[in-house]
Structure 1
Amino acid sequence: MSIGNFNILGSLADIVDILLVWYVIYKLINLIRGTKAVQLLKGIFVILLVKFISDNLGFNTLSWIMGNIITWGFLAIIIIFQPELRRALEQLGRGKFFSRSGIQEEDDQDKLVEAIVKATDYMAKRRIGALISIERETGMSDYIETGIPLNANISSELLINIFIPNTPLHDGAVIIQKNIVAAAACYLPLSESPFISKELGTRHRAALGISEVTDSVTVIVSEETGNISLTKNGELHRGLQLDAFKSLLENELVTRNKTKPTSSARWNWRGKRNG
């Protein structure tokens, strides 16, 4: 084999090596996204930045302190990131670490939509108030921690039982994370927009508030009217009929249906209410 062929093979090996490293880094970022580990990583970046600056500016004492922090930091990282490392090893053992990423696979996405639509229809007909927020790319772990952890598989029956009046979990929001009901009775931030209609209650304000700080999709069932509403990206779609609601939910949550919602399903919260 000629030297040229060896050079080509070596270059291909380098490219594959770099791509594998970037893929592993990408999967690790997905693994810790939405957890407190993100903030810890920012702290580590600040320490490295301070060490670099102190080395270049001749701040010997500060450089020595940062050097010792970095030296012992490896052990600290293992202790601090123990939950994330354990989860990564579990996924690796199950063969999920290198699987295709996303909010859910299409089957799980369909199951999620069907469960929410069925539960919403049941509660709307009986005027059972509900607030359901579905996590997408922006992590919602901080809000999950304000509620009661469930970590249960999604089902319409579970959602209905949670919001039955005068039960311990009915007051607050349910947060769904990767096809799992992560927690119930969660507190969501209230929107402070002065343009919100005064007839809207706390549920609608909380749904708008979470849509302003995350990319989540949040479903509201009005306890007073039984109307179905949905918030996303700071917008409130009010008074949705069941078919329009399902279509809008599929457009947002099902990968193959990533199309622009129809004008009949799209309502800005500043506009008139439908029904």
Structure 2
Amino acid sequence: MRARVGAGRAPVPGPRRRPRARGADRGQRDDEPNVSFESYRFLIPRLWPDVVEILLVAFVIYRFLLFLVGTRAIQIVVGVMILSVAYFAALFAKFQMISFLLGVVFTYGAFAAVVVFQPELRNALARLGQSRFMRRFSQSDRQSVAEEIAEAVDRLSRAATGAILAVEGDIGLEEFISSGVPMEAKVSADLLTTIFTPYSPLHDGAVLIRGDRIIGAGCVLPLTQFKVTDKSLGTRHRAALGLSEETDATVLVVSEETSTISVASHGLLHRPLTPQQVRDLLSGAISHLEGGERLIA
């Protein structure tokens, strides 16, 4: 018998392929779509959570800016924005010293802001209880304040005593307090009548009211910058129109010449009014008055 050719040869060494596990390969192919889907899950829009978050953030920013209007804090915020622009400009231009100094300012500026904005922060917490949302829980207090103010303007009208009262809305009146005498007194008809008594030290200015407190007396209000067509209107009416153009305050005026009661709101003058109408307006029984006059050219 002849031996087979090559039967005794040693096998030639070479790379040996390892068998692939079918289950593992199949599992890897099955997992690939899931991994891709998870990676792009963030692109799927969440409708109502995103809308709610955007509305909440926009409302908070709006209320914050609305609170800053009329205070010295708005000037400080503008200064901080200017410093922020300067800081990013220094980074872009690679001004190392300027960027380092501004970085130090921003690092410790948060602690300084608490000290600088202490009156505004305290005032913001106090005004939180006077917001429209919280006023619903203190309707009785609002009614009593409306009664006192209506009684005061009725007395002043019958005595032909000139007066001007500004009831603060959502926009603060802090910047006008410094022009007069700051006060912290509960609103009462007797006190308001006494303040506007002729020849008293505070009778010639405006009384500022926030909630159920008198926060200022003898204050100077800005006059309207527009030409008033009615020449019979005096300085009090012009000041009432000027403040109502800049803020959302409700400004009450008692004319010294005609004894009529007027209300200035959003640049409109409503006259003549009765004490009952004043009471209904301030208590919220009526939201606004009809037939206001725009007395500016």
Q: Which residues of structure 1 form unaligned runs of 5+?
A: 1-10
1:78 to 110, 114, 126: 114
1:167 to 183, 194, 200: 200
Q: For residue 101 of structure 1, what is the amino acid of its counterpart? A: S
In the TM superposition, 1:119-134 aligns within 5 A as 119-134=152-167
Number of residue pairs matched by the alignment: 242
Aligned to 1:261: 289
User: 1:257 and 1:171, CA in 2 relative to 1: closer, same or farther beyond 3 A?
Assistant: same
Structure with bigger gyration radius: 2
In 1, Cα distance between the equivalents of 2:114 and 2:92? 29
Aligned to 2:34: none
User: 1:237 and 1:58, CA in 2 relative to 1: closer, same or farther beyond 3 A?
Assistant: same
Check the 8 A contact 1:237/1:269 in 2, yes or no: no
Check the 8 A contact 1:27/1:97 in 2, yes or no: no
Q: For residue 114 of structure 1, what is the amino acid of its counterpart? A: E
CA positional deviation for 1:79: 2.6
In 2, Cα distance between the equivalents of 1:116 and 1:57? 60
In 1, Cα distance between the equivalents of 2:127 and 2:225? 40
Check the 8 A contact 1:132/1:220 in 2, yes or no: yes
- Is the counterpart of residue 101 in structure 1 residue 131 in structure 2? yes
Aligned to 1:45: 81
In 2, Cα distance between the equivalents of 1:135 and 1:100? 10
In 2, Cα distance between the equivalents of 1:137 and 1:232? 13
TM-score, normalising length from structure 1?
0.75
Q: The residue matched to 1:192 in structure 2 has which SS?
A: coil
CA positional deviation for 1:257: 4.2
- Is the counterpart of residue 205 in structure 1 residue 230 in structure 2? no
Taking only aligned residues, the RMSD between alpha carbons, in angstroms, comes to 3.3
In the TM superposition, 1:1-275 aligns within 5 A as 29=64, 34-85=70-121, 101-102=131-132, 104=135, 105-247=138-280, 249-250=281-282, 254=284, 257-258=286-287, 260-262=288-290, 266-270=291-295
Deviates more, 1:98-107 or 1:69-78: 98-107
Q: The residue matched to 2:87 in structure 1 has which SS?
A: helix
Q: The residue matched to 1:151 in structure 2 has which SS?
A: strand
In 2, Cα distance between the equivalents of 1:180 and 1:150? 9
CA positional deviation for 1:52: 2.6
Q: For residue 211 of structure 1, what is the amino acid of its counterpart? A: S
Check the 8 A contact 2:67/2:170 in 1, yes or no: no
